[in-house]
Amino acid sequence: MRAVFLIGPDKKIKAMLTYPTTSWRNFGEVLRLLDSLQLTVNSRSLHQSTGGEAEDVIIVPSISDEQAREKSPGGWKALKPYLRIVPPPAFF
């Protein structure tokens, strides 16, 4: 097996990816994961699955609606009470 570990400044493992030795590691996926982790720490939002720069992001469920309104006064689209989507510039 081959493994990739992403360790944060707090010395805690933030992500682990494990690949069989017969498979190539997708470095683009590692970079997308790193970007997503940094985005979550810096702006308390989550990347969508494809992680494109212009794609909407998900507001972290631990943020209340009141806190989210401070960062995104224009509002968001709520697919479920815990799944709130907002354009990326609004949450940076």
pTM for the full model?
0.59
- Per-residue burial over 49-88, b if 16 or more Cβ lie within 10 Å, else e, is eebeeeebbbbbeebeeeebeebbeeebeeeeeeebbbeb
For 34, the domain range is 2-91
Query: Tens digit of pLDDT for each residue in 52-77?
Result: 556 788 888 888 888 888 888 888 89
The CATH number of residue 9's host domain is: 3.30.1020.10
Looking at beta carbons, which pairs linking 83-86 to residues 24 or more positions away fall under 8 Å? 83/58, 84/58, 84/59, 85/56, 85/57, 85/58, 85/59, 86/45, 86/56, 86/57, 86/59
Please state the rounded mean pLDDT for residues 83-88.
Answer: 84
Q: How many domains does the chain have?
A: 1
